[in-house]
């Protein structure tokens, strides 16, 4: 019974933080989805760090599944990519997807190494 509560609590705070970061970032870059990029890259690093840290299962549920699950967003990434494609903003799409995937994997690896 405790596991779903940990995920719920982490998700609550993760969603609020994602909203705050996205709103803050949108002020400086209304033409590029920098907020989604920031949360996904931060989440990649933090999740890698958590995996490498040897954290107990409760911490993984609260911070990893709950917080990071709500903080990062795969669906928004895809939707924003589709919107840029529909507007034929090919350079932005390439930069956005390359930064998300290449930097995200690298940051997850780096976070894991730092966590160890």
- In angstroms, the CA 35 to CA 97 distance is 14
- In angstroms, the CA 71 to CA 1 distance is 23
On whether the CB atoms of residues 25 and 16 are closer than 8 A, the answer is no
- In angstroms, the CA 76 to CA 21 distance is 14
What's the token pair of residue 90? Answer: 């090919």
Q: What angle do CA 10, 15, 20 make, to 5 degrees?
A: 125
Q: Tell whether residue 69 is among the known ligand binding residues.
A: yes
Q: Tell whether residue 28 is among the known ligand binding residues.
A: no
Binding-site sequence positions for Na(+): 69, 72
Q: Which residues are annotated as a binding site?
A: 69, 72
């Amino acid at each position: 019974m405790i596991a779903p509560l940990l995920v719920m609590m982490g998700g609550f705070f993760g969603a609020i933080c994602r909203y705050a970061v996205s709103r803050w970032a949108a002020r400086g870059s209304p033409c590029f989805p920098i907020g989604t990029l920031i949360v996904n890259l931060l989440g990649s690093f933090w999740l890698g760090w958590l995996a490498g840290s040897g954290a107990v299962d409760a911490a993984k549920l609260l911070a990893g599944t709950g917080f990071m699950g709500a903080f990062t967003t795969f669906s928004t990434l895809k939707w924003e990519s589709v919107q840029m494609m529909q507007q034929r903003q090919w350079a932005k799409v390439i930069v956005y997807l390359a930064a998300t995937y290449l930097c995200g994997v690298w940051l997850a690896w780096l976070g894991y190494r730092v966590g160890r």
